[in-house]
């Protein structure tokens, strides 16, 4: 039996101008957890981010929203992981995924960064890719040259509804993810 998840990292960019951006779906997810489980984020300068302590079905878990920009997310994640002596296998990173359509969400373990600069920096600074990822689909703009502008803009109302639905799907299996019941969570999440 796995020890489960001790840290959930939601990826995004800080600042009110980025709140609704596609790139910030990781923040949307961790904000929803904090709201649903009555936790409050506090700014922690030594970890370059906002941290909340929460309890999900009797499992203690930390939430982290890096206040660095996306491309340097690892400078927030690594100090916290090192200080609390967390294993990479006990980390869930929640991020936007171009290769999944809005409304799709996938849970996976390990893997490369797939061109995602937030993941790239976390892998580099942790020295490991052995962590869980919750990949929230935002769709692809169609051409790689359009990606930067696309992730830094708000989704259409239809896409936002689909993304919110996928986040709700993930929230329903969150207790299983936290408890380390990954196969059960994946089966429910990946089967429509």
Percent of the chain predicted with pLDDT > 70: 98
Tell me the per-residue pLDDT of 88-138, one tens digit each, with 9 for 90 and over: 999 999 999 999 999 999 999 978 777 778 899 999 999 999 999 999 999
For residues 160 and 162, what is the distance between their CA atoms, to the nearest angstrom?
A: 5
18 is catalytic: no
pLDDT at 192: 66
**Domain chopping of the chain, boundaries:** 7-190
CATH superfamily of 7-190: Peptidyl-tRNA hydrolase (3.40.50.1470)
CB 151 within 8 A of CB 131: no
Query: Pick the catalytic residue: 18, 23, 38, 190?
Result: 23
Q: What is the mean pLDDT of residues 57-78?
A: 94
């Amino acid at each position: 039996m796995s020890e489960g998840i001790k840290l959930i990292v939601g990826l995004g960019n800080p600042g009110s101008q980025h709140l609704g951006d596609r790139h910030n779906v990781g923040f949307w997810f961790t904000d929803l957890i904090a709201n649903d489980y009555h936790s409050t984020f506090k700014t922690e300068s030594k970890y370059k981010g906002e941290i909340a302590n929460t309890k999900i079905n009797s499992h203690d878990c930390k939430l982290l929203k890096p206040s660095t920009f996306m491309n340097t997310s690892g400078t927030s994640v690594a100090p916290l992981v090192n200080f609390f002596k967390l294993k990479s296998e006990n980390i869930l990173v929640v991020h936007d995924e171009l290769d999944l359509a809005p409304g799709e969400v996938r849970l996976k373990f390990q893997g490369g960064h797939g061109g995602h600069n937030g993941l790239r920096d976390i892998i580099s600074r942790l020295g490991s890719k052995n962590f869980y990822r919750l990949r929230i689909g935002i769709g692809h703009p169609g051409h790689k040259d359009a990606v930067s502008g696309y992730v830094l803009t708000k989704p259409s109302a239809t896409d936002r509804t689909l993304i919110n639905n996928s986040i709700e799907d993930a929230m329903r299996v969150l207790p299983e993810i936290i408890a380390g019941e990954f196969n059960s969570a994946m089966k429910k999440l990946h089967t429509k």
